[in-house]
Structure 1
Amino acid sequence: MKNVDDDADALKRDWNYEVRSMMLFSENAPQELKSYLTEQRTAGFEYVAYCSNTAVLGKDDLAFFKTGFDVAEYCHENTTDRDFYASMSVDSFELELNRWLQIKDDAGSLVLLTEAKMAQADWFYQKATDYERFDAGDKEVAEIKYLLGIVKDTAGIIEAKRLWNEHVPTNTVRMPEFLNIKNVVMTEKELSLFEKQLMKIGLKEAFTPELIGKLKSGAPSIEHPFKKSYDGDEASATLHIKKSETSDQYFFNKYDLSVRKDGQAAEMKQTFHLNNFKRKPDDEHAAKFYTTFTFKEAFNYLSGRPVWKTFNNANDQHYTAWTVANLKNIQQNGSPEQKQYNQNYPFDLEKVLGGYSIRELAHDGYKSRLMESLQRGNLQLATFIGDNGKEQKLFISPNIPLNALRVYDANKQPVPTETLVEKGYIGKEFAEKLKENVEQIRQRNGSETRQQQGPAQENRREEKSVAKEEKEGETAGKAHKQRQTNKQVQKQEGDTKKPRQKHKIQ
């Protein structure tokens, strides 16, 4: 009865034979070589001759013949004590080429082939006294180095270096320069510097073993996917990373982010560039952001909440502004229109917060952290205190056009202004002021006056009314500043003429 181990040994011998006899072809144009074989076959050539000492065969290494006699004569006349010529049919030769084409782009198969060749290679051939052993070993090692170069490009340099370290005895064959990790792989210090790049924008979780492997591969550019969830809302990103042309350091240049709100089918998308204060007005990316958004700020922005950032204008001047994504106006590139309310716009977050009964405002430290969180665009949880002393946790976010806060309950549903008044979270005078602001915005937008409806409907109506106000936000800010200047001039000159007002922001 046949032993299972015998079958295994037989398969191993067959595999070793396949590996040893497998021909390798020039990587730069194997498809061109295949077309060349077809041309020769069409021209009536049935046999091909080649030098078996050559580690890698290309188009210039082949000679074609129409008869078996001619190819045999060619091999006999050209074979010397150093070069041995072999021949086969064009059909058989094409089968060998097809075997290589199937393996060369498959990283797993390529690693197996390379490892099998390395396991049976004669690494001590350089010490051989007979030429045949030296010549066979020299070709064998040349094939292995060729394969390792392709493994480096497909499976990564770490895998190629592992194969070399595991199979090549010390003090035998010199390691090829392209496997010198010091020259092509980031050092631990460089990896640490790149990790800090990710940490600066809140992406420490993206520094995974998978990404580290990509960085160590030496690839000129990397696109790395990353996903994160915020209270049920999904943020999916692709990190774009490029290697320096003058060093082994990688730089994180930009990331594509898409945000899908819980329960919504539509996504909001935007490309966020990093550290691009140096962009010029005529740059093809001039319309992109002139600042760096952290990952959470970018998520908040695509969620429709305002973010307070420092920007750079076309004249290389820095300015601060609230920036808001107009989710109702999607541009041709698929990204929402960007709205900005700069420091001249009459919205003061600290003063606005003062109109609400929030416990955190009584402590300077808590107040500062609350404001910073809101400036980053977070939907921040705050403790509201009612007239009866009872407390309630509610979410808040700036409502810049209305010069107020948006207030949400635990389920992220809007809390009507009337409810805030009833519970003593805002005063009646402040509520009346909000209603006046809504009415002014409605009139400014040319809206017709409607009878007051329910509080919940008022909030929905408010969102529609402020759409145009957001579009004119920066213009309104400039008008406000101009009015202040006009008043000063009027006071100095005693001019009783009233300055012209385009907007009435209170």
Structure 2
Amino acid sequence: MNKKNVEFLKDQIKYTGFGEGYESQLNEKIGKELKEFQLLNRTEFGNDVVVSRLDFSRSESSDLYFFNRYELTFRPPHSQELMSQTFQIGKENNITQKEAYNLLSGRSVFKEYSKMEKDLIQDKYVTTGEKYNAWTQLNFKETDKYGNYKFQTFGDNYGFDLQQALEKLPIAELGDETTAARLLQSLQKGNLQSVNFVEDGQLQQHFLAANPRFKSVDVYDMNLNKLYLNQQQGKEQINSQAASLENKTPRPRVKKSGPTMS
């Protein structure tokens, strides 16, 4: 058995978001010299139970095994239908389990990709070595021949700036540079993120999700009902309301609940 191969697979599983503890299962499956095998993962994101099947196969020319893909399945709230999607595994910048869950929940993820071009000699697409960033989401109205939802991407040229979109909202967390950076990173991962709005001198908890397609940020109340707000509020209003809030006593207490930054 190739121990370096097992260590490599362990790291791939870990950094794709499936955690640790798979060494014994990998050793058992690979020790049987199976052509293909699967591992199962069950986790919870909030109240949602997520089940993933990880697919592995053996090389046709060596004793090496590869982590090829995983299929993630869960049932959205208030739905009788299971949602499922297969995500391919490459050498780098793979979609993690949490990002896959966020995509299948209808949200968008910001990733770095490698530019590809057609190699006419090999008759396949190969990487050019160049990188680019883009927002990705699933198109639930179209599927490929394998039954997977097709991807939609929105690159830099599309014109969505998450930072600018956030600054149109009276978000208290934008007043602190470190917290604001964490908020930005969380939304880029596709998370549904809890924040505090400064409204009439009080803090009100809301939830946010990036919406690159419409160049905006989706806002939800504490019951996750979507709110349709006028997002033309400038940063000056945020600062003035935040300053007003600082001068008030006692400081308002906000119940902490729901999704957090991760």
Contact 1:305 1:397 in 2 (8 A): yes
1:208 is displaced (CA, Å) by 6.6
Deviation at 1:319, TM superposition (A): 2.2
Describe the SS at the equivalent of 2:180.
Answer: helix
Amino acid at match of 1:274: I
Pair 248,313 (structure 1): closer, same or farther in 2 beyond 3 Å: same
Q: TM-score, normalised by structure 1?
A: 0.41
Q: What residue number does 2:167 align with? A: 354
Verify: 1:263 aligned to 2:78, yes or no.
yes
Task: Give distance in 1, aligned partners of 2:140 and 2:21.
Answer: 27
Match of 1:230 in 2: 45
Residue pairs, 1:138-149, within 5 angstroms? none
**Pairing partner for 1:310 from 106, 109, 112:** 112
* 2:133 aligned to which of 297, 320, 338: 320
State the Cα deviation string for residues 6-27 of structure 1 (Å, max 9, x = none): xxxxxxxxxxxxxxxxxxxxxx
> Which whole-Å CA distance do the structure 1 matches of 2:170 and 2:192 have between them?
18
**Contact 1:308/1:376, CA 8 A, preserved across alignment:** yes
1:365–1:322: structure 2 CA closer, same or farther, 3 Å change rule? same
Identical amino acids, percent of aligned pairs: 31
Q: Deviations over 1:59-102 (max 9, x none)?
A: xxxxxxxxxxxxxxxxxxxxxxxxxxxxxxxxxxxxxxxxxxxx
Provide the rounded CA distance (Å) in 2 between the counterparts of 1:219 and 1:292: 25
Aligned counterparts of 1:212 and 1:369: Cα–Cα separation in 2: 38
For the pair 1:400 / 2:212, whether they are aligned, the reply is yes
The one-letter amino acid paired with 2:211 is N
1:192 aligned residue: 7
- The residue identity in structure 2 corresponding to 1:391 is L
Q: Against the structure 1 CA distance between its residues 303 and 202, is the aligned structure 2 distance closer, same or farther, given a 3 Å change threshold?
A: same
- Deviations for 1:292-313, whole angstroms, at most 9, x for unmatched residues? 2111111111111011112234
Is 1:336 paired with 2:149? yes
Q: Which residue of 1 aligns with 2:223?
A: 411
Instruction: State how 1:455-494 maps to structure 2 within 5 Å.
Output: none
Query: What is the number of residues matched between the two proteins?
Result: 225
Structure-2 separation of matches of 1:244 and 1:357: 54
Deviation digits for residues 188-213 of structure 1 (CA, Å, limit 9, x no counterpart): x5533321111111111562744443
Q: What is the aligned partner in structure 1 of residue 34 from structure 2?
A: 219
- Aligned counterparts of 1:216 and 1:394: Cα–Cα separation in 2: 51
The residue number in structure 1 matching 2:182 is 369
- Structure 1 residue 379 corresponds to structure 2 residue 181: no
**Alpha carbons 2:208, 2:218 under 8 Å: kept:** yes
Q: What secondary structure is seen at the aligned counterpart in 2 of 1:194?
A: helix
- Segments of 5+ residues of structure 2 without an aligned counterpart are 118-126, 238-262
Q: 1:198 touches 1:206 (CA, 8 Å); kept in 2?
A: no
More strand by share: 2
Shift of 1:344: 0.6
Q: Structure 1 215/366 Cα, relative in aligned 2: closer, same or farther at 3 Å?
A: farther
Supply the AA of the counterpart residue of 1:397. Answer: A
Distance 1:322 1:395 in 2: 20
- 2:99 is aligned to 297
1:309/1:323 contact within 8 Å kept: yes
Q: 1:217 to 1:331 in 2, by over 3 A?
A: closer
Q: Structure 1 pair 249/331, CA: closer, same or farther in 2 (3 Å)?
A: closer
Deviations 1:371-427 (A, max 9, x none): 111111111112222231x21222101122332210112222212327x89xxxx46
- Cα 1:347–1:236 shift into 2, 3 Å: same
CA deviation digits over 1:214-262, x for unaligned, max 9? 2343323211222222122232221111234566543312112223212
8 Å CA contact 1:186–1:216 kept in 2: the answer is no
Per the normalisation by structure 2, the TM-score is 0.74
Give the alignment partner of residue 87 of structure 2, picking from 254, 257, 272.
Answer: 272
> What CA distance in whole angstroms lies between the structure 1 residues aligned with 2:200 and 2:52?
45
SS at the partner of 1:266? Answer: coil
Tell me if structure 2 keeps the 8 A contact 1:206–1:226. no
1:198-217 alignment to 2 at 5 Å? 198-205=13-20, 207=22, 209-217=24-32
Q: Which structure: greater helix fraction?
A: 1
CA change 1:363–1:215 in 2 (3 A) is farther
Find the counterpart in structure 2 of residue 5 from structure 1.
Answer: none
Residues 305-341 of structure 1, C-alpha deviations (whole Å, 9 max, x = no match): 0111122344234322111112233444322232111
Q: Which has the higher contact order (CA 8 A, sep 6+)?
A: 2
Answer whether contact 2:53 2:70 (CA < 8 A) is retained: yes
3-state SS, counterpart of residue 79 of structure 2? coil
Cα distance in 2, alignment partners of residues 410 and 209 from structure 1: 42
CA distance in 2, matches of 1:237, 1:197: 15
Structure 2 CA distance for partners of 1:312 and 1:387, relative to 1, 3 Å: same
In 1, distance between residues paired with 2:188 and 2:90? 20
Amino acid at match of 1:328: K
- The letter of the residue matching 1:267 is L
